[in-house]
Amino acid sequence: MTNPQLRDAFSRVRAEVAKAVVGQDAAVTGLMITLLSGGHVLLEGVPGVAKTLLVRTLSATLNLDTKRVQFTPDLMPGDVTGSLVYDAKTGEFEFREGPVFTNIMLADEINRTPPKTQSALLEAMEERQVSVDGTSRQLPVPFMVAATMNPVEYEGTYTLPEAQLDRFLMKLVLDLPGREDEVQVLTRHSAGFNPRDLAAAGVTAVLDATQLAEAQEAVRQVRASEDVIGYAVDLARATRQSPSVKLGVSPRGTTALLSAAKAWAWLNGFDAITPDHVQAMVLPVLRHRLQLRPEAELEGVSPDTILRSILSQVQVPI
């Protein structure tokens, strides 16, 4: 398929998602950018804002295998990655794959399980493989973790380790809907919409793994000039120098910013990224990579506030 045809396919993905999810356009865009970049996505929001429905609907528009894991306090690492199971017939141990062996893994309420189980995903997210009993097993291609989480101040939540947060390409924040959107949600439910039956809502698959791979390759071909690359680096370095930040953006974060900017540029029909594309990706790609100083948190400073300040201060290349 040509680039315009592939872009049209992603436009159809957006239209299919809209059949089940009202609003949340920014989150839908973020999910598509994550897919195109070959990364993972973290969706944060209060309960009931359609985080899980959004991921399930996106999965339904793609002809890909999807599995869901409900993260709970008693979930064990082997429940996610798989484990060795004794076969009484053969007298040997055999590996039984966990739900991580899929194309899109929906990690629901990931911050409701202890750090030990959260860490089970580190190798899978970074290396695209799982190691059990000294044997490494490759995960399917493509592979994406789409994790939902409640705000950390909610009861029964754990803080995600910095190493794991850094492996998410994006953190998307889903807000409560506006009045018009909420009226539309209730109107759909009143008319019989069932969020557990997406097929009845008319949601159909419009992309497969081959087309997604073609689109990902097209995104990798998007050019980045030396000035724009330097701009992305300057933004990341500014986070490390902020007096409110204890831990700034790592080089992995800078690479993620460039990848997301390429995907956003490609979706908009550009063959090279501009500073505008970089700026549009700064908040979703970098917000979860900043670790604030305690005094800044007490003063109510947020990562988004710091990033907006940096965007206004760092010189934009002409």
- State the residue range of the domain holding 33: 1-220
Is 228 found in the same domain as 164?
no
Residues 146 and 205 in one domain: yes
What is the C-alpha radius of gyration for the chain, rounded to an integer number of angstroms? 20
3-class secondary structure, 291: strand
Residues 149 and 29 in one domain: yes
| Domains in the chain, number | 2
Instruction: Say if residue 238 is in the same domain as residue 279.
Output: yes
Do 177 and 262 share a domain, yes or no?
no
Query: Are residue 51 and residue 175 in the same domain, yes or no?
Result: yes
- The structure tokens listed for 183 are 């009226």
Contact (Cβ atoms closer than 8 angstroms) between residue 258 and residue 235 = no
Residues near 306 by Cβ (< 8 Å), separated by ≥ 6?
Answer: 239, 242, 244, 245, 290, 292
At which of 220, 249, 268 does a domain end? 220
- CATH number for the domain spanning 193: value is 3.40.50.300
Same domain as 56, residue 84: yes
- Please indicate, yes or no, whether the overall pTM of this predicted structure exceeds 0.85: yes
Specify burial of residue 36 (Cβ count, 10 A radius: 0-12, 13-18, 19+).
buried
Q: Tell whether 172 and 285 lie within a shared domain.
A: no
Q: How does pLDDT run along the chain (318 residues), one tens digit per residue? A: 667 888 888 888 888 888 888 888 888 899 999 999 999 999 988 887 888 888 888 888 988 888 889 988 888 888 898 888 877 788 788 888 889 999 999 988 888 888 778 777 888 898 999 888 778 899 998 999 999 887 765 656 777 878 888 899 999 998 888 889 889 888 888 888 888 888 888 888 888 888 999 999 999 999 999 999 999 999 999 999 999 999 899 999 999 999 999 999 999 999 999 999 999 999 999 999 998 898 988 888 899 999 999 999 999 987
Query: In what helix (H) or strand (E) does residue 94 lie, and over which residues does it extend?
Result: strand 92-97
